[in-house]
Amino acid sequence: MTPALFLYRLVTRLAAPLLRFVFNARARKGKEDYLRLNERFARNLPPRRPGPLVWLHGASVGESLVLLELGRRLIAQRPGVMLVFTSQTLTSARLMGKAIPESAIHAMAPVDTPMAARRFIQHWRPDLCVFAEGEIWPNLIHEAGRAGARRALVNARMTDASAKGWARFAGMFRALTGRFDVILAADAGTAARLEGLLGRHVRVPGNLKSAQSPPEANPADLARLTTTFVNGRPCFVAASTHPGEEEMFLEATDRMTDAALIIVPRHPERGDEIAGLLKARRLAFARRSKGDVASPRDRVILADTMGEMGLWLRLATVVYLGGGNTPDVGGHNPLEPVRLRRPVLTGPDVFNFAGMMADLAARGLVRTVTDAGDLAAGLADPPAVSEAAVAALEADADAPMIATLDALLPLIPKPLFETPGPDR
């Protein structure tokens, strides 16, 4: 055990008694679910089913969706394996609760203290632990290693800033992550940074988000809103927005009075804040979370709900994708609107998707906008989406997922009695 890891474990052990108060305070603010606080401390967990178990952990919505698709394919390839998904945020928990396969469960991620991590690992006894993107939790990783679990980091992403931060604790990083059985990077830049820290080769199968199918939409809702809200107007959708980006979007569309607007905040709990902004601008709007019925008299739908992105994207004429005009966010996945053949505009600060964005821009499927003026011009004259360009993109879309499955499946024991899959 390195000195840095020893110190981390000591500090988190001493801080553990205070965390119950911290999480109770978060629950009072609506940031945690009171009914699930025990999961945060790895207590009162559901029973473990006999047989092999894979634990898949991602921080929030994006990582959870990637792991959900990966988990579905693992079950298809290895029927009888139990999956346990964990995530950090209420938003992802609500999404996963509706979407996980019948043979899987979702639990809130445990706090990274030595005792909670030990209880979690001892309860589930995972055969394989899969961490997505940048989820490096020292106590959980350490306890998994002590228990003999295989470990994998998939779709890994690491910025220059993160790499410089970990370089100060390179010994601990190597002691934890360097012993993973599988490390797969989403892009070449991440692979180079990881190789510099770990001193080992890192494979680059590509970004797993390319394999995600576009989200579904309720056909009845789609038909109704096409008629009652869009009503023949151009429809501009601001998707996954952050503070400041709604203002920019509204400023860009201020003179486009014939357009229908839909704002989909990345965090639905910001609904009150955005509703206040719309009221200040005296814009007629329908708020989805309140059950408002949108009509042609409304200029805006405030889509402050979860799990309906497929509906909003299908209504769009052009999509402004948030996260690229707010510092330190790093952009969001552009592939969902692109695969629905929608023109995409986004900001320049997309370091989390730099390679993907560059590729999509070269294919003419995404355009960068820096301010409200740029955005207004892009909405008025969006990039033309070439069917041939999207088809070429989709032809390679599944390769990262296939490579990841090929790397993980040998690490999962076969069930003693396998349940026949649909293809058997």
Question: Which amino acids are annotated catalytic?
Answer: 63
For residue 226, give Cα distances in angstroms to 189, 218, 229, 232, 310.
Answer: 42, 12, 6, 8, 14
Residue 28, burial from CB neighbour count under 10 angstroms (0-12, 13-18, 19+): exposed
Q: Cβ of 25: how many Cβ atoms within 10 Å?
A: 11
- Separation between Cα atoms, residue 2 and residue 169, nearest integer Å: 9
The residues pairing with 175 across neighbouring beta strands, listed in sequence order, are none
Closest CA to 160 of 339, 330, 287, 340: 330
Annotate 277-291 with b (16+ C-beta within 10 A) or e (fewer).
bbeeeebebbbbeee
List, edge to edge, every strand of the sheet that includes 344-346: 285-287, 300-302, 260-265, 235-241, 318-321, 344-346, 366-368
Annotate 70-79 with b (16+ C-beta within 10 A) or e (fewer).
bbebbbeebb
Supply 89's token pair.
Answer: 């945020």
- Separation between Cα atoms, residue 221 and residue 206, nearest integer Å: 35
Closest CA to 88 of 33, 159, 142: 33
Q: Cβ of 165: how many Cβ atoms within 10 Å?
A: 12
For residue 323, give Cα distances in angstroms to 74, 107, 121, 263, 352.
Answer: 31, 27, 35, 13, 10
